[in-house]
Structure formats: C-alpha cells, structure tokens
Amino acid sequence: MHWYEMKLDGRGHTSSALSQVCRPDRAADVPKYLEQVGKNGIIARGSGSSYADQAVNVDGAVMMTGRLDCIRSFDEKTGELICEPGVTLKTITELYGPRGFMLATATRSGQHTLGGAIAANIVGQNGHKRTSLAKSVNWIDVVLANGETVRAGNSENADLFKAVIGGQGLIGVIVLISITLLKRPEENVVVERRRLSDLNELMESLKTARKTADFCTVWIDTSARSDAVGRCILTTASFTKDPATEPLFSFPKIKLPLPYPVLYFTSLPLFKNLRYRLSFSLGKKVEPYEKFLYPSDHVHLLSQKGVYQLQASFSEAEGPQAIRRILTELSQTRVSACRAVLVMTKEDTLSYLGSAQRGYTLVLDFIRRKGLEDFLKHLITVAGEHNGRVSVQDDALLEPRNLVLMYKHLEEFVKARETYDPQKKFDSNFGRRLFSKEKKNEQ
Ligand SMILES: Cc1cc2nc3c(=O)[nH]c(=O)nc-3n(C[C@H](O)[C@H](O)[C@H](O)COP(=O)(O)OP(=O)(O)OC[C@H]3O[C@@H](n4cnc5c(N)ncnc54)[C@H](O)[C@@H]3O)c2cc1C
C-alpha cells in the first residue's frame, strides 16, 4: 500500500488542500487502503473536474480511481457494458461509437470518469430526453466503510443506490459499474444554431425543441439588458440519415489551455455582444455525432483566480420567471458570467441528492472577485424563492440550511450515510461544509 502527499484542488481553483493520496491498481486493493484511513476520512476522486471541494479533503485522504479502468465485458445485443469507475466517458465513446453505441447522456466534456459522472449524477445536452447518466446504470458495486463490497441497483439495495448516485463519494467507493449503452440511431446529427432576441422567444423555441430535438443547449448573453434580457444562441441537434457536410473552411479545434486574460475577456459585455452578433456557423450543418459531442474539451480555460459555478434547476412553471429574475439581476448589477448555459431536463432524478427537475437547468460560471461570494449566495436565495434546486455537484457556496429547503430527499440521504458509514470514513471538504453536525449547531 503506497501513500504520498499531494496538493489537490477543484477545477474552479476555489478550494485546494494537501492530502494523503493513494492510487489503487485493482478494485481488490480498495478495502485494504480504507483500513489505513485516519483523521478526516477519505474521498474518491476521478478526473477531478468538479469545480469546488467535492473531491478535495484537507488533512485527510484521497483515493484516485484513474487506474481502476478495466473493461470487464460488453454485450453487443443488449448494450450492457461492465467496467471499472476510472474509465472515462471519452474512452467509452471512442471504443463503442464506431460499433454504433452511445452513452445515454451527452455531456459537455468526455474527460470525466464514469465513476465520477455517476457520483455527481451528471446531466447533459439531452437532459430533456434522458434526465441523467445515472438512469442508464443497471447496478454498481460499492465498497463501504467496513470494507464490504455491496451491489446496489434500482431493485437491489435501492436506498444505497439512490444515495451513492449523486452522493459525491460520501457513502462509499464505486468499484464496478453495469451501464446500458444505447444504439445510436444514426451516425450523423443535423445541428442548427439560431440567434434569439429575448427570453420570450427563447422560451417559445424551447417548447418546440423539447418535442423535436434530440439535443438542445443555449448560450446566453448575460450582459443583455431590459427588453433584450435572455438573448441567446440556441443550438439544437437531431439524428439524421443525411451525409455529413464537409465545410469549405472550418475553424481549428483548439486544444490548448487558454490563460486567465482570455477567460476574463469572455465575461466582458463586448465579447458577449460580438459573440451574439458575429456568431459563426449559424444555420444548419450535418456532422458526425462524435464530432458534435464534448464541446468543452476543445478549449481548456484556466484561471488561478478561481471560477465559481452556480447550477440551478427549476420547474417548467417557475423556470421562465426565475431565469428572467436571475438574468435581470446579472445585467443590472453588471456581474457578468464568463459562461451562461441553459439546458432542459425531463424529470426528477432518482438520486437523493439529485437537483434536476422537469424544466430547466441554468448553469453560470463566474470569475472570482471581491464581493462575488455574497452576490452568489443571494442568487442561491433567489433560486430557493422560486422552488429551484441549486446543484451540489459543482457548487462551492451552498450552506446546510439551503439543502434543507431545496432537497426533499435530504433526510433519506443523511439516513443512508448513517446506516452505511456511521463513522464518516468517507468525507471531504464538501461533506464537512454541508453535513457536519457542528456546523448545523453553530447556525
Ligand atoms: C469542462 C467541464 C465540463 C462539464 N460538463 C458537465 C456536463 O455536461 N454535465 C454535468 O452535469 N456536469 C458537467 N461538469 C461537471 C461534473 O459534475 C463533474 O465535473 C464530473 O462529473 C466529475 O467527473 P470526475 O471524474 O472529474 O469526478 P471528480 O470531480 O473527481 O469527482 C466528482 C465527485 O464524484 C466522487 N467520485 C469520483 N469517483 C468516485 C467513485 N469511484 N466512487 C464514488 N464516488 C466517486 C468524488 O468524490 C466527487 O464527489 C463539467 C465540468 C467540467 C470541468
């Protein structure tokens, strides 16, 4: 058993910590490492792309799952894939895309490990068709705090299943996964990009897109004011039999890390205005599905200053009003997000800590600056006033009282944690921020 010290942070660089780190080579080693865990417990970490403190554990231990990346079997008839948690979504797409299969959820990045994506209950650009990746999971094998490996699925240890999915690693370590890959209907998708002038036009267009498009995502100009609030570029895509169109010229897909000044520029009204007005490739084009996938992997934006993400899910009824209120506040206060994306979601997720509900999920990224945290806490309150649920998956600022108001299955999650890990062997900065008793008493 080998441990070493390492400084780890979240992708948003708002939380970092020195931890004792281990990298098991085999699933059978996981219980042995768990036996050696001391103060502040241990947390699993996949590719570490959660924005905040979800996979960070100050003065504690972190288990990197990247080497647990064996594929055990794939059934061509049913699409059932059995593999370890360290396999990335991109690897699955590269291996099984050419054979006509696809993951049920089309996420923005393929860098996530399957274990991390399940533990974060990841949603995608097709959230209005399939709520979350977790819905396609048949069962998972979880190593619990006592070292025992337990299988959990919808019909077997369902409480454990619902707690581990979206549970941010606080219940146990996922060491084996059975997931169903879908038959990809066609090789290509027809992608359409349209400029929409305000929120009313957006909401009308989304009603149609919900019914007709296989994928739908919206880039919002958060600097737009008064009547133009909600102006955006709507991207929809649907599978098609049409052949892919070879563009005469296409922009190179940059895979370079872009430094802070570029990130800063993306938050300026000038950039947003230019992007809205000059947006390239508006109209329709047909491209291979695999090319359309994982748009976030082309550019890696860096900021050592830190980036906060606020992701809130609203019902169909409350969504338009809540989104208008948040966007109006952003434009009035001139707190511009460096990225603002809206996706639709189909239904409540099955996990106890899942945030998605049938309606809309608004995702906002902000560069850290003075006074921002207070403003974002205010937006969390606004979301709560509209019965929204702020997602725990990349959040850095939720407080225990927000969870109590927003998550109707919170008690079940807490109960599952008490049942499966009464000593809190699995813990993280995130876990202590939101679930430690001392903190609750302080309030
Ligand atoms: C560029 C980018 C694009 C993104 N796109 C999307 C998107 O389209 N949709 C979306 O919903 N989110 C998205 N996210 C955020 C997403 O929530 C997480 O970043 C991702 O799911 C985490 O996968 P990971 O392997 O990096 O896990 P980590 O960040 O390493 O961990 C995430 C959580 O899972 C737990 N965990 C990891 N492995 C295991 C395991 N084996 N067993 C138990 N628990 C485990 C960790 O403890 C942690 O709490 C994006 C983030 C980035 C940076």
> pLDDT at position 441, please?
41
**Sheet harboring 173-180: ordered strands across?**
71-74, 80-83, 173-180, 137-143, 149-153
pLDDT tens figures, 148-171: 999 999 999 999 999 999 999 999
Mean pLDDT score, 355-369: 93
Position in ligand 1 atom list of the atom nearest CA 297: 1
Mean pLDDT score, 90-101: 96
The answer, yes or no, to whether any atom of ligand 1 lies below 6 A from the CB of 48, is yes
Is residue 414 within 8 Å of 437, Cβ to Cβ? no
The answer, yes or no, to whether any atom of ligand 1 lies below 6 A from the CB of 107, is yes
Q: How far is the CA of 119 from the centre of ligand 1 (A)?
A: 7
Return the closest-CA partner of residue 245 out of 210, 207, 287, 215. 287
Residue reference for tokens 């550019």: 299
Q: What residues contact 48, with CB distance under 8 A and at least 6 apart? A: 8, 9, 10, 11, 55
Q: How far is the CA of 106 from the centre of ligand 1 (A)?
A: 14
pLDDT band of residue 298 (cuts 50, 70, 90) is confident
Residue reference for tokens 């009464």: 422
Nearest-angstrom CA–CA distance, 20 and 58: 9
Is residue 140 within 8 Å of 174, Cβ to Cβ? yes
Is residue 21 within 8 Å of 5, Cβ to Cβ? yes
Domains, the chain: 4-65+412-442 (3.30.43), 71-183 (3.30.465.10), 188-399 (3.40.462)
Is residue 157 within 8 Å of 151, Cβ to Cβ? yes
Position in ligand 1 atom list of the atom nearest CA 125: 8
Please give the helix or strand (H or E) that residue 374 lies within, else none.
Answer: helix 372-385
Nearest-angstrom CA–CA distance, 389 and 405: 9
DSSP string, 275-288: HHHH-TT-EEEEEE
**Average model confidence (pLDDT) across the chain:** 92
Task: Among 257-271, 318-332, 354-368, name the one with the lowest average pLDDT.
Answer: 257-271
DSSP state of 321: H
> pLDDT at position 297, please?
80
Higher-pLDDT residue of 164, 223: 164
Mean pLDDT score, 137-144: 98
Res. 258: pLDDT tops 80: no
Core vs surface per residue 382-393: b (16+ CB within 10 A) or e: ebbebbbbbbbb
pLDDT band of residue 255 (cuts 50, 70, 90) is low
Nearest-angstrom CA–CA distance, 52 and 428: 11
Q: How far is the CA of 49 from the centre of ligand 1 (A)?
A: 5
DSSP string, 245-280: P--SS------SEE-HHHHHHHTSHHHHHHHHHH-T
> pLDDT at position 68, please?
98
Q: How far is the CA of 81 from the centre of ligand 1 (A)?
A: 20
Residue reference for tokens 């000593």: 423
Please give the helix or strand (H or E) that residue 89 lies within, else none.
Answer: helix 89-96
Return the closest-CA partner of residue 62 out of 22, 17, 89. 22
Residue reference for tokens 């059995």: 82
User: Which residues share a beta bridge with 6?
Assistant: 19
How do 307-315 and 188-196 pair as beta strands?
unpaired
Q: How far is the CA of 111 from the centre of ligand 1 (A)?
A: 9
> pLDDT at position 250, please?
62
pLDDT tens figures, 23-75: 999 999 999 999 999 889 999 999 999 999 999 999 999 999 999 999 999 99
Position in ligand 1 atom list of the atom nearest CA 11: 53
CA distances from 387 to 220, 382, 390 (A): 22, 9, 10
Q: How far is the CA of 50 from the centre of ligand 1 (A)?
A: 5
The answer, yes or no, to whether any atom of ligand 1 lies below 6 A from the CB of 163, is no
Residues in the chain: 443
pTM, full prediction: 0.94
- Taking only Cα atoms into account, the Rg of the chain, rounded to an integer number of angstroms, comes to 21
